[in-house]
Structure formats: C-alpha cells, structure tokens
Amino acid sequence: MAKNIDVNLINHIVNTYSDTILRIAYQYTQSIYDSQDIAQDVFLAIMKKDISALSEEKLKAYIIRATINKCNDFHRKKSRRKVISLEDAEPVFTPEEQNVLDEVNSLPEKYRNVIYLHYYEGYRVNEIAEILGAKPSTISSQLSRARAKLKDYLTEESYENL
Amino acid sequence: MKTYKNAMNKINASESFKAETAEMLVSHQANKKKIRFIPIAAVAASLALVVALGAIFFPTSENNNSFIITANAAELNSNSFTTIGELPASNWRADVDENEIYVIADFALEVKGENIKNVTYTIDNGAFAVPDANDKLTASKKASKKVCVPKRENKSFYSEITAKYNNQIDTTNDNVEIVFNPAKIDKDIILVAERYGKFADVWVYDTEAEKINNYQKTTEEFFSGAVKDCRIKVQAEYSDGTIETQRLTYNADVKLYTEPLTFHTKNGDETRNVYIAKVNLKAKLV
C-alpha cells in the first residue's frame, strides 16, 4: 500500500521554521553546523507527532519548545551531515554584532531564550510563559534580570543599540 | 535591539540545507518501519530452549565467587555500594517530549581470577555502547533491544558482550560505555528530570540555602533514578568449561562543593562562591 507522505507539509515546515530553529540553536552551540544537526533532529521529532491539527501559532510554539529541549541535551559532536555546502559557512558578524552576541551568550541559557523570544520574535511575556511552560511572573523577572545583567556588561551606548 | 536583530538575521538556513532536510524527512517518512509484535508464547518457548541448551552445554556453579569484579580498580562487594567513579555532568539526557532518559558512564569493569577464559557481560535496563572499530568484542556481541539509547557516531549498542580474559575491555583505550535507562519512564522520573533540567543552566550561590538543598536532592534523585534499575550479569567461563556468575547493580550519590567564580560587571569584578555537583557512581554485588 502506498504511504501517505505530505511532501507539501514537510516543505512548508522546513522552509518556514529552519531559520527560527537555527537561531535558537546557534545561541547554544555558536556553530552553524551543530545548529543544523539540532534542526534536523527537531524536524525528525516533529514528524513523529500528529501536527496536522495544530494552528500555525501553536506549531511555532511547539517547534520552539522542541528546539530548546534538543539544545538542552545537545552533545557536542562532529557533524553527522556528510555534505556541507559552501552556502552553509559560519555567519560573519561585525565587531559590534559580535560584541552584543558575546554578551548575550554570557548569560545563562534560559535568559538567552527569553531575550531571543522577546526581542527578536516579538513575543509578549504571557506568550513566552506559555511557550516555555513557566509562570508569567518568572519570565518577567528573567527578562528584567537579563536586561539588568546586560546593562552591567555593556556600555550605555551599546545597550541602547542592543 | 537593532544590532542584536541584525546579528540574528545573519543566521539563516541555506537553500541547500532546506532541500537536504526536506529530502531526509521525506525519505525518513517513507522508510518508517511498522512495529512488530512477537507473541509472548513464542518468546517464552524460545527462552525455554535457550535455558535448556545453556544447562546442557554450560554447566554452571553459581554462588562460588572465585573471581572478583573491580571497577576503576575498586573491588565490588555485596555488603555496601562502592564508589567507582564520577559521572560526567554532560553525559545525560532527559527528553521529556520523547520520553527518553539516559545517563552514560565509562565501562570501567574488570574481572580478576584464575583459569578464566572468557568474560561475558549482560545488561538489563541499559546498553553497552561499543565503538564500531573495536575488534576486541567483534566475535561475541548481542545487539541491544533497548530503544532508549543516544545517537553516537561510530558506536553500536549491545545487551551482551564477551571479551577474552587476557584481553579485557580497557575503558581508556577501548572507549566502551554503559548507557543506563530507568526501567520505566513514568511521571515521577519525568518530574525529577524537569526539576533537574532547571538547575542545569543556572549558578547556585552559597547564600541560597533552600536552593542548595533542592539542588543536591534533585541531582541525586535524577541520577540515582536513572541508574538504579540497571543490572549487569557478569559470567566468567573457565578453561574447564564451567561458568560462574555474579550480578551487580548501581546507584549514585551527589556531593556538592563550592568554587569561587569571578563575574565581570560594569562596577568591577565580583567573586562569588557557586555550588557544583559531583555525581558519584556506585556499584554493589547482588
């Protein structure tokens, strides 16, 4: 019997969420290759679930949570991928961008997630709390603590530009 | 936030990565295997046959402990757990979504005795991770049926391995590991894993008494919960064909210690004592 594989769904998920997964994973690994490994693991895990009934919003939240889980137990290893395209080179940051990333990366991982979800993805505190399965008050306090820490680390000027 | 966003925008998935990933997912979906169920009666019959053949060909003399088992040079006994090493903090995984929990430790076991030809290790609730390049154990390995094993490059998982007595597993050079699984991944151990996960990326300072107790208790619950169901049967086959068996079980305890850590802040360096957990793996004969 022919298997029912939804190629359109696979393409949609990969095209829509690869960047998000890579960005979250990169904050843990600081390596595009390791992030790609994590991304493929996340996609494989997602395909085991019945996601067809999820709204786009719920699916994105689920993917973010799955990515953070994979990152938490990521074992650093050589890339499993046999072919690495030249397109996949490590990103080149300006000194200013590198400085900001270094400072963000010096924070504990959960703070980095909150910073990313709030400042990059534009989620509100309540939404982040729902995604991460935490209380809104916890996220709110993590966000303020993360900002306070960054303020200590960065000069006033770079903090404004953060 | 401009600089941060600009930096993040540079982290992109290339078209070739997307294409390769989509192809891999399609292929994975296409090759998914159906789960096979083997009737219990058939399993029981085959087990009975194995036991009967074992009794004919391998006369056993249990409870005659003329060989000893050491782990990292410490001799194991049946009276109490012996500390046999430290569990590396990074070699664990608790993926709540996937219902996967495991902890990995170096193999570390060695048998000592006289006139022993071969040594066979059989594991329940776990697996032996053996490098594929290892030729010491090639002749006698049984693939692990356990599904909860980590993805590790160039390693395969076995539930039984045999080594010649004179050429036993050398943990340092052979890179053999033990993967510990809980017998059952139930709600309780998942809750412990979730609590432990919350400690994994924060510093616990020496001023936070309640958190310190929680840290120790949770770490110990997680690691002992992950290893305590594992049983290893060790069989020594002597030159005269007789076989002796001993079994061992594991546990873990946690000692906390403090280390000074310097934080660089805008107002200068600040040194604080942070708590680090040292997880001791223990083993005992049963």
Per-residue pLDDT tens over the stretch B225-258: 999 999 999 999 998 889 999 999 999 998 888 8
Residue tagged 């000027």 (tokens): A157
Of A69, A104, A120, the CB nearest to B96: A69
Cβ A152–B265 below 8 Å, yes or no? Answer: yes
How much helix, strand and coil, in percent to the nearest 5, is found in chain A?
70, 0, 30
> If pLDDT is split at 50, 70 and 90, which confidence band does B214 have?
confident
Q: Distances from the Cα of B152 to the Cαs of B103, B138, B149, B282, in angstroms?
A: 13, 18, 9, 25
Contact A18 B17 (CB under 8 A): yes
B33 in contact with chain A, both atoms CB, cutoff 8 A: no
- Mutation site, B1, B2, B3, interface A, largest A CB count within 10 A: B3
> Hey, is A62 helix, strand or coil?
helix
How close is the nearest chain A Cα to the Cα of B83, in Å? 26
Q: Which two tokens stand for residue B101?
A: 């929990």
pLDDT tens, position by position, B114-141 = 999 999 999 999 998 888 777 777 656 6
B17-60 tens-digit pLDDT: 898 888 888 877 765 433 222 222 333 333 343 333 333 344 44
The percentage of chain A sitting over the pLDDT mark of 70, rounded to a whole number, equals 80
Q: Which CA distances in Å does B32 have to A3, A44, A53, B100, B223?
A: 10, 12, 21, 19, 33
Q: What is the ipTM of this complex?
A: 0.85
Q: How far is CA B134 from the centre of its chain?
A: 19
Does B29 contact A151 at a Cβ distance shorter than 8 Å? no
CB of B147 within 8 Å of a chain A CB? The answer is no
Q: What are the boundaries of each domain within chain B?
A: 62-285
**Distances in Å between the alpha carbon of A5 and those of A2, A17, A47, B15?**
9, 19, 10, 22
Cβ neighbours of B26 in A, within 8 Å: 5, 7, 10
Chain A contact probe: residue of B27, B29, B99 with most A CBs at under 10 A: B29
The token duo for B164 is: 């010649």
Coil, helix or strand at residue B136: coil
Q: What DSSP element (H or E) covers B161?
A: strand B155-164
Contact A120 B5 (CB under 8 A): yes
**Domains along chain A?**
1-75 (no CATH), 92-162 (1.10.10.10)
Residue B145 has which token pair?
């049926």
